[in-house]
Chain A
Amino acid sequence: MQSSAARKMTPEGWLEPPPLPHHYDTIENHQAALRFGMWLFLGTEVLLFAGIFLGYFVFRHYFPESFEQAARHLSVVLGTANTLLLLTSSLTVALAHHNAEHGKNRNAFWLLMASVSMGAGFLGIKAVEYTEKFHEGALPGKFFSFSEITAPGGPVFYVVYFFSTGLHALHVVVGMSLLTWVAIRCWRKEFSPTYYAPVENAGLYWHLVDLVWIFLYPLLYLV
C-alpha cells in the first residue's frame, strides 16, 4: 500500500500488483499462501467459539427450563432481522470479491460499503437488544435480577448469551474494519485478476462472522 502511489496504472484500468515478496517465486504461490493462512486463522476462530458453544450445551443440559424461558424473552423479530442483515452482507461481500477479481474496483468498493453499513445495522439492533436486557436486569452472574425467569440457571444463560454475542459483536467490529480497509484499496483500484487476495481474505473473515451467527441465532432465539 505504501507503494500504491508509485505503482503504475495498467491499460486495463487497475494498478500493477505490489512487488512480490523476495522469498516467493510466483505471484500465484504468494496468493495461495495468503489464502491458506487465512483459512488456518479461521480454524482458530472456530475453536475459540467452540468453547463457548460447549458451555451453551453443558448449561442447557443442566437447566433446560430456564434456557427455554430465557429464549422466549429474546425478540425473534430483531434476531431474524439481524440474521437477514448478516446474510445479505455476506452476499454483497461475495459479489465484491467477484468484481475485484475481474478488476471492477469501483463496483467492489460500493458493494463492500454496503456490507459495512449492514454490519453497522446489525450492531445497532444488537445495541437495542442489549439496552432492553439492561433495563430488565436480564444480566449475567451477580447482576442478574430478572423476575420473569423462575427456573434456576437464569444467570448462567445470560453469561452464555452476553459472552457469545459480545465476542461475536467484537468480531463484527473487526470484520467491518477489515472490509473498510479493502474498500479503500478498491477505491485506489489496487485489485486485478492477478492480485485480489486481500479482498478474498477479508471476505472469508466476514463469512466466518456470518457463519458463527448462523449457529448462535437458532441456539439462542429459536430452540
Chain B
Amino acid sequence: MTAPITTAGVPPAGAVFPKKSYLNDGTTIRSWLLTHDHKRIALLYLVAVLIALFLGGVFAMVIRLELLTPGPTIVEALTYNRMFTLHGLIMIFMFMIPAIPAVFGNFFLPIMLGAKDVAFPKWNLTSWYVYIAGSTLMLWGLITGGADTGWTFYTPYSTTTTTNITPVMLGVFIIGFSSILTGLNFIVTIHTLRAPGVTWFRMPLFVWAVYATSIIQVLATPVLGLTTLLVAAEHTFGFGFFDPARGGDPILFQHLFWFYSHPAVYIMVLPAMGVISEVICAVARKNIFGYKMIAMSSLGIAFVGFFAWGHHLFTSGQSAFDAGAFAAISMLVGVFTAIKVFNWVGTLYKGAIAFTAPFAYICGFLFFLVFGGMTGVALATVSLDVHWQDTYFVVAHFHFIMVGAVIMGFLAALHYWFPKMFGRKYPENWGLLAAGLIVLGFNATFIPQFLLGNAGMPRRYYEYPERFAALNVASTAGASLLAFGFIIIAIYLAISLKYGEVAGRNPWGSRGYEWDVPSPPPTENFDAVPVFTRGPHEYQDVPEELAKVGHAI
C-alpha cells in the first residue's frame, strides 16, 4: 500500500452542465411519479426521507424543550409520551432505515456495477409507494390515535393501552414490505447485473455494505411483520398471545421484536460504513487499506447481528447462561467494527487529506462510532447493564452509535455525491461550518445524557429532580446547535441546486466507478455496457486530469 500520492490542485476549468441528463428527461410530475429510473426513484426517496428527518427533528426539539426544566415546561405528560413515540417511529422506520440504502443505494448501486438500472425497476417504484402508504397510515394512526407506547411497543402495555395503536402497527408492517422489496432488488441486482470487469472483489465497498444490509432487510423484516400483526390482533381482538392472564408470554414479544430490531441497527449503520469506505479514499487520495477485510467484516456484522438480540433482555428474566452467551456474541460485533475502524485509519495514514465537509463528517463518524461502540461493549457486559438499563446512558449510547453514525454517513454521502447527483457543487466553506456545528451540537446533546444516565436518570420520564437540571439544559442547548446546523445545510444545498458552480464529471478526482459517468448522469447511465479495467479504490496510477480536486482550505 505504498501508493504515490497526488496533492490537491484546482478544479478543471470550463466544466459545462450536460444538456441532457436524467433530471430533464421528462419534466412533468407524471414523469417523476411513474418513473422506473433508479436515479429518479432515489430522488423521490430523498424528498421523503428529508421530510421524515424534518418531522422527527421537530418532535425531538419538543422533547428537549420539555426537558429544559425539571417540571412541566411546554407540553403535558401524555403529549410528551406521544412526542417520543412519534420521534422514535419516524426517525427509525421513515428516516434511518431507508435513508442511505434507498437514496444513495438506489442512485449509485447500479452505476457502481456498470448496470443501467436495478434488477426490477417496477418493484423499485412500488417499494416507494408502499413506503409512502405505510408511512401515511402510521402517521395518521399516531396523530389521531395518539399512541404513547414508545417505538418498542412493549407488551402488555401496547396491547392494553386505550390509545389506538392498530393503524400504527399496520403502518409499520407495510413499511417493512417496502424495506424487503428494496433489499431483494439490490441482492438480485448485485448477483445478475455486474458489468464485465466488476468481479465480486472489484465491487466498490459501498456495494458490499449495501449487500450485507439487504441480507438483513430480507431475512429480519418478516419477523417484525409477524410481530406487529400479532400485537395488532391482540390489541383489537384480545387474542392473548402475549398476555399471561390468557396463557400468553410477554417475553416472547421481546424475543420476536428484537430478533428484527437488533439487526435493524445494522440495517442503519452498515450503509453508513459503506459511505465512509468510499469517501475516505477520495479525501485521503489513497487506496483503501484492507479491502477484503472491510468487505468481509460487513458480512460478519450482518451474520453476528442476528444472534445478539438477547442483550436487550438482560433484565427480563433470562437465564445466566443465555445472558452470558448473548453478551459474548454482542461483543463480537465490536471486533468486526474495530477491523473497519483500523482499516479506515490505516487508509488515512500518510494520505494527502483534503479537509472538506465529507472529511469533517468522517471524523465525526469515527468519533461517534468508536465512543458509541465502546459504550456498547460496556452495555453488553451484563453486570454493568443492570445498572444502566433504561437510563439515559442507553439513550445516549444508541444515539451515538446509530443516529450519530447514520447522520454522519448520510451527510457525508449527501455532500460527496451532491455534485454527481445534481451536477453542481455546494459552497465548501459553508459546508465545513455546518459540519462543525453538527458534530459539536451532537456531542453537546448526548455527552450530557451519558452523564445523566450514569447518575441514574431514567429514560422516557416527564419530570426529573432538580439536581439533573444543569445537564439537561446543556443537552437542550446542544440540540439547538444541531438544529441550527441542519438549517444551514438545507439553505446552502437548496441554493446550490440552482446556482452552484458546475461540477463537471469528477470534481473530487475520485476513482470510484460512479465518477466516470457525466454529472448528472444520463438516463441510461452508460452509452454502452462499460468494461472496468481497474478496481474502484485504486489511486496509484491517477491520471493528471483526475488528480485535481478543489476544496476550501
State the A residues within 8 Å of B (CB).
21-25, 29, 32-33, 36-37, 40-41, 43-45, 47-52, 54-55, 58-59, 62-63, 140-144, 152-156, 159, 163
Q: Are B192 and A44 in contact (CB under 8 A)?
A: no
Q: Are A155 and B222 in contact (CB under 8 A)?
A: no
Distance in angstroms from A174 CB to nearest chain B CB is 13
B191 at the interface (CB under 8 A from A): yes
Residues in A whose Cβ lies below 8 Å from that of B241: 55, 141, 156, 159, 163
Residue from A23, A51, A58, A155 in contact with B223 in the complex, judged by beta carbons closer than 8 Å: A51
Q: Are A159 and B240 in contact (CB under 8 A)?
A: yes
Distance in angstroms from A109 CB to nearest chain B CB is 26
Residues in A whose Cβ lies below 8 Å from that of B234: 141
Q: Are B218 and A153 in contact (CB under 8 A)?
A: no
A interface, by DSSP: helix, strand, loop or mixed?
helix
Closest to B36 in A: A21
Residue from B193, B220, B237 in contact with A23 in the complex, judged by beta carbons closer than 8 Å: B193
Given contacts A41-B184, A47-B220, contact A152 B247 (CB under 8 A): yes
Residues in B whose Cβ lies below 8 Å from that of A29: 192-193
Distance in angstroms from B41 CB to nearest chain A CB is 14
Residues in B whose Cβ lies below 8 Å from that of A50: 222-223
Q: Are A59 and B247 in contact (CB under 8 A)?
A: yes
> Which chain B residues in 102-141 approach chain A with CB under 8 Å?
110, 115-117, 119-121
State the B residues within 8 Å of A (CB).
110, 115-117, 119-121, 180, 184-185, 187-188, 191-193, 218-223, 225-227, 230, 233-234, 237-241, 243, 246-249, 252, 255-256, 259, 524, 529
Residues in B whose Cβ lies below 8 Å from that of A140: 237, 239-240
Distance in angstroms from A95 CB to nearest chain B CB is 28
Q: Are B529 and A25 in contact (CB under 8 A)?
A: yes
Q: Are A43 and B218 in contact (CB under 8 A)?
A: yes
A-B contact pairs, 26 of them (CB 8 A): A21-B121, A23-B115, A23-B121, A29-B193, A33-B191, A33-B193, A37-B119, A41-B180, A44-B221, A45-B222, A47-B219, A50-B222, A50-B223, A54-B256, A59-B247, A59-B249, A141-B234, A141-B237, A141-B239, A141-B241, A142-B239, A142-B240, A142-B246, A155-B247, A156-B248, A159-B240
Residue from B193, B240, B255 in contact with A141 in the complex, judged by beta carbons closer than 8 Å: B240
Closest to A52 in B: B226
Q: Are B252 and A58 in contact (CB under 8 A)?
A: yes
Residues in B whose Cβ lies below 8 Å from that of A58: 249, 252
Given contacts A48-B226, A58-B252, A62-B249, contact A33 B184 (CB under 8 A): no
Residue from A33, A44, A59, A154 in contact with B219 in the complex, judged by beta carbons closer than 8 Å: A44
Closest to A66 in B: B247
Distance in angstroms from A63 CB to nearest chain B CB is 6
Residues in B whose Cβ lies below 8 Å from that of A143: 237-238
Residues in A whose Cβ lies below 8 Å from that of B180: 41, 44
Q: Are A36 and B225 in contact (CB under 8 A)?
A: no
Distance in angstroms from A78 CB to nearest chain B CB is 24
Residue from A22, A47, A153, A159 in contact with B239 in the complex, judged by beta carbons closer than 8 Å: A159
Closest to A41 in B: B184
Please report the C-alpha to C-alpha distance between residue A71 and residue B184 in the assembled complex, in whole angstroms. Answer: 38
| A/B pair count, beta carbons within 8 Å | 115
Closest to B529 in A: A25
Please report the C-alpha to C-alpha distance between residue A23 and residue B39 in the assembled complex, in whole angstroms. Answer: 14
Please report the C-alpha to C-alpha distance between residue A22 and residue B226 in the assembled complex, in whole angstroms. Answer: 37
Distance in angstroms from A57 CB to nearest chain B CB is 11
Residues in B whose Cβ lies below 8 Å from that of A152: 247
Distance in angstroms from B289 CB to nearest chain A CB is 33
Residue from B187, B225, B239 in contact with A48 in the complex, judged by beta carbons closer than 8 Å: B225
Please report the C-alpha to C-alpha distance between residue A62 and residue B249 in the assembled complex, in whole angstroms. Answer: 10
Residues in A whose Cβ lies below 8 Å from that of B110: 23
Residues in A whose Cβ lies below 8 Å from that of B219: 43-44, 47
Distance in angstroms from B153 CB to nearest chain A CB is 15
Residue from A37, A45, A63 in contact with B120 in the complex, judged by beta carbons closer than 8 Å: A37
Q: Are B247 and A63 in contact (CB under 8 A)?
A: yes
Residue from A32, A36, A153 in contact with B247 in the complex, judged by beta carbons closer than 8 Å: A153
Known A-B contacts: A51-B222, A142-B237, A142-B239. Give 14 more (CB < 8 A): A22-B524, A23-B116, A24-B193, A32-B192, A33-B193, A43-B219, A47-B219, A47-B220, A51-B256, A58-B252, A140-B239, A141-B246, A142-B246, A163-B239
Distance in angstroms from A74 CB to nearest chain B CB is 19
User: Which 3 A-B pairs rank lowest in CB-CB distance, beginning with the nearest?
Assistant: A23-B116, A142-B238, A48-B222
Please report the C-alpha to C-alpha distance between residue A155 and residue B120 in the assembled complex, in whole angstroms. Answer: 44
Please report the C-alpha to C-alpha distance between residue A64 and residue B184 in the assembled complex, in whole angstroms. Answer: 39
Given contacts A43-B218, A44-B221, contact A156 B246 (CB under 8 A): yes
Q: Are A155 and B256 in contact (CB under 8 A)?
A: no
Q: Are B222 and A47 in contact (CB under 8 A)?
A: yes
Please report the C-alpha to C-alpha distance between residue A153 and residue B218 in the assembled complex, in whole angstroms. Answer: 33
Q: Are A37 and B249 in contact (CB under 8 A)?
A: no
Residue from A33, A43, A51, A142 in contact with B226 in the complex, judged by beta carbons closer than 8 Å: A51
Distance in angstroms from B415 CB to nearest chain A CB is 29
Distance in angstroms from A24 CB to nearest chain B CB is 8
Residues in A whose Cβ lies below 8 Å from that of B238: 141-143
Residues in A whose Cβ lies below 8 Å from that of B227: 51
Q: Are B223 and A33 in contact (CB under 8 A)?
A: no
Closest to B249 in A: A58
Closest to A156 in B: B247
Residues in A whose Cβ lies below 8 Å from that of B191: 33, 36
Closest to B123 in A: A37
Q: Are A163 and B188 in contact (CB under 8 A)?
A: no
Residues in A whose Cβ lies below 8 Å from that of B237: 140-143
Closest to B225 in A: A48
Residues in B whose Cβ lies below 8 Å from that of A45: 222
Q: Are B187 and A40 in contact (CB under 8 A)?
A: yes
Residues in A whose Cβ lies below 8 Å from that of B192: 29, 32-33, 36
Q: Are B193 and A47 in contact (CB under 8 A)?
A: no
Q: Are A163 and B223 in contact (CB under 8 A)?
A: no
Residues in B whose Cβ lies below 8 Å from that of A22: 116-117, 524
Q: Are B117 and A55 in contact (CB under 8 A)?
A: no
Closest to B246 in A: A155
Distance in angstroms from B75 CB to nearest chain A CB is 35
Please report the C-alpha to C-alpha distance between residue A156 and residue B248 in the assembled complex, in whole angstroms. Answer: 6
Given contacts A29-B192, A63-B247, A141-B246, contact A156 B240 (CB under 8 A): yes
Please report the C-alpha to C-alpha distance between residue A33 and residue B110 in the assembled complex, in whole angstroms. Answer: 15
Please report the C-alpha to C-alpha distance between residue A155 and residue B249 in the assembled complex, in whole angstroms. Answer: 13
Distance in angstroms from A60 CB to nearest chain B CB is 12
Please report the C-alpha to C-alpha distance between residue A113 and residue B158 in the assembled complex, in whole angstroms. Answer: 45
Distance in angstroms from A120 CB to nearest chain B CB is 25
